[in-house]
A and B are shown apart, each in its own frame.
Chain A
Amino acid sequence: MKEINIFYNALETLPVLASKIKAKQKKIMGYLCSYAPEELIYAAGFHPMRLFSSKSDIVQAEQHLQAYCCSLVRGVLEDSLSGRLDFLDGTVFPHTCDSMQRLSDIWRMNGKYEFFADVILPAKLNTQSARAYMKDVLTGFKKDLEKAAGKEITDTDLQNSIKKFNIIRKNLSKIYALQSKKPGIIKGSDLYTIVKGSMVMDRDEVADILPVIAGNLEKIDLPPKNIKRIVMSGSICDSPDIYSAMESAGGVIVGDDLCTGQRWFEGQTQVDENPMDAIAARLLNRVICPAKHFSPTARGENLVSLAKKNRADGVIFMLLKFCDPHAFDYPYLKEFLEKQGIKTLLIEMDDQQQNSGQLATRFETFIHYI
């Protein structure tokens, strides 16, 4: 599909993508977390860009972070220190885990970019005071952005931004739903590229292309195939090889609980209310990340319901090594799923080094087993 190729081409080289965005007089704001209030950044006239590690060798970051820090945090710091992110005009750090929190300090102390903001979100999301605080923090961030942009962010700006991101989210949900309904309708690596592109590319462009892709996929009919339906759970999954290895093994990913997947895009922001309230409400009500608290069993319930809704034959945990919040949840999530008769597989990854041969074997064994 030629529309999908646009995503592939855009992601090929990040600096080229960045220079095209900058050619439109847009400043680029990077961030590493799916709780980053993209709508506010966009409404300020900036380009929100999710940062991923280029997976280059760690050299300069060795001087700042020990080897037991996760490969995402070390990898992105390496990219920054070695100049690979020099196109950035600023960075935004929403509060997530302990490692990100310290990365934010180190990043700020190195002061490489013009704009810097900590968006210190609440860690618990289930109380009235946390809701009020969320709104306060977003309001403060909006002021920081206005100062940087030298203009006021009006309610109209916000409404337009919300509409834009809603189109992106709605169509990503639609594409996922189609893949779940007709598994194999889109290649895993294509899906990965579309989702990643939607976090990185010009959002006007993304919002134009996604409905076309969704529309095209809707028209495709697939004869039912003998494949296993897989749900993935974890933090980021930044490798197209994982998706193709899964397909070679006879499985299709029909849903995910990833911060580079459904956790990020599911759920619309309400358009008919006060836009700041609506943005806060979406962040409070979305599927939670393990670094946040809603209830002691919220993630287990979410994952079981996601697996059931997608009639998953198995759930694969793709966990980044040294990612504490996910590692703490793994034993109970596995237990919750197994109680429902859903089998699981744990893959511990390092963003830096991926052994695709071994991965393929483990997938095959799992697919045979379920």
Chain B
Amino acid sequence: MSDKLSEKRKIKSAKKMRDIMTTYYLDAMTAGQNNKQIAWITSGGPVEPLVAMDIIPIYPENHGAMIGASKMGEDLCIKAEDMGYSSDLCSYARADISCSVVKGGPIGGLPEPDMLICCNNICGTVLKWYEVQARFYNVPLFILDTPICHTRYSPEIAKYVQAQIDEYIAFLEKVTKRKFNYEKMAEVGRLAFEAQLLWQKVLNTTAHKPSPMSAFDAFFFLALIVTLRGTKIAVDFYKELLGEMEQRIKDGISMVPNEKYRLLWDNLPVWYQLKWLSQKFSDHNACLVADTYTSAWCGAIQYTNKDNFIGSIAEAYTRIYLNIGVDQMAGQVLDMIKFYNADGLVMHSNRSCKPYSFGQMDIMKIVREKTNLPVLMIEADMVDPRNFSQSQVETRIDAFMEIIKQKND
């Protein structure tokens, strides 16, 4: 009986997504044979012009997540440290940098880039990381510099980033020796816009009680909106996923068997502990219904004009979650707590990600003051397990859930 139930809880679209991602990586691995070029791009970078130019985008950060999830992070991070990189540096970067040299990891290393596209809207780390790779592979590097909007998106920033979008296109024309196809760009832009809307709708389904999926599922289904944004594949997939979520709501299928408490997650996942964390919260009848991370790939959609995509991406890519002031981030966290009706906030203080983690303590204070909700902060790292103490985290989660229960029961 219970087997049957847990089978019912499994999200059917997961298999399809695995297949799509396998095909994507296989295509990338054989790009050379098909006369296709490869661009490595940061997770927050504008991928759409690459899709419009038929260049295969590869995401070292997605690769980092795969390395973390397959528990190969520690070994690759140590290899980077042997190369002279401090153990305090971002574990995605360390794992990727050493992987380029040793060709390790779950897929034996990424296909080599023909060009590198680095957008610093997520951090300054990517700037240094891509410089490392530009020296290693000796390929052209394009930097899209999106000044942080501490309090506003100023006209100066708008002018600067817009000029760089034009430079980006010129860069792609130069590297590919082909003309940029604006017509195709418009189509790709529409598809990217649609996929983002669908992704937002998928994430919104978890506002339903009980929630048809959890943030742990969102961490998994995120891969397509990151890597295949701008393609029909992504749109079709998220339509299907949305349909499945709506059906689960109708059928009363929840991800956590006895969902009683609803929590919001902040920061990147702890990739090598997803299963354990998910089980841990589930045992407490708690579902992590939403997170600040996966929503970043549709959070700036309000600034995107689907009919003038290329003309509006400057603003959309500059005003993403991490590239704004801590007070604005706190505002978004408060909105999410309200929308998803959360009973508490779990913050991952992530040693690897300084722009995401510094400011968290101020956000925590704001959330406590404005909502009176319990907030838990756990110390970890997204890929390097040496910075994670399971027993310590377990004790803290238990204590936190005790408070949540007392407040709600």
Contacts and interface: CB of A to CB of B under 8 A. Distances in A.
Q: Does B associate with A?
A: yes
Interface of A: 63-66, 68-69, 95, 97-99, 101-106, 108-109, 118, 120-124, 127, 129-130, 132-133, 136-137, 140, 290-291, 293, 296-297, 321-322, 324-325, 327-332, 334, 348
B157 interface: yes
B129 interface: yes
B148 to A, nearest CB: 6
A329 B128 contact: yes
Interface of B: 83-86, 88-90, 93, 120, 123-125, 127-129, 131-132, 134-135, 141, 143, 145, 147-148, 150-151, 154, 156-157, 159-160, 163-164, 167, 325-327, 349, 351, 354-355, 357-362, 365, 379
Contact of A102 (B128, B131, B359): B359
A324 B94 CA distance: 12
B119 to A, nearest CB: 11
Contacts of A133: 147, 156-157, 159-160
B132 to A, nearest CB: 7
A95 B357 contact: no
Closest 4 CB pairs of A and B: A331-B84, A328-B128, A102-B358, A129-B163
B88 A136 contact: no
A97 B150 contact: no
Contacts of B93: 328
B389 to A, nearest CB: 15
Contact of B85 (A65, A322, A328): A328
Contact of A66 (B83, B86, B349): B349
B362 A97 contact: no
A329 B125 CA distance: 11
Given A66-B358, A101-B148, A348-B86, 14 more contacts: A63-B361, A95-B147, A102-B355, A102-B359, A118-B150, A121-B147, A123-B145, A132-B159, A133-B159, A296-B135, A328-B132, A331-B84, A331-B85, A332-B135
A69 B358 contact: yes
Given A101-B355, A133-B156, A324 B128 contact: yes
A105 B156 contact: no
A115 to B, nearest CB: 15
B135 A105 contact: no
A351 B127 CA distance: 25
Nearest to B88: A322
A259 to B, nearest CB: 15
A296 B141 contact: yes
Given A105-B327, A327-B88, A120 B124 contact: no
Contact of A325 (B85, B128, B141, B361): B128
Nearest to B86: A327
Given A95-B148, A327-B88, A293 B163 contact: no
Contact of A330 (B84, B147, B156): B84
27 contacts: A66-B357, A68-B357, A69-B354, A97-B124, A98-B125, A101-B124, A101-B150, A102-B359, A104-B150, A105-B150, A106-B326, A120-B148, A122-B160, A124-B143, A129-B160, A129-B164, A133-B147, A136-B160, A291-B124, A293-B143, A296-B135, A324-B90, A324-B128, A324-B354, A330-B84, A331-B84, A331-B85
A120 B147 contact: yes
Contacts of B355: 98, 101-102
Nearest to A299: B131
A123 B150 contact: no
A127 B163 CA distance: 10
A102 B326 contact: yes
A295 to B, nearest CB: 9
B150 A120 contact: yes
A118 B149 CA distance: 10
A74 B147 CA distance: 23
Given A130-B160, A324-B90, A140 B135 contact: no
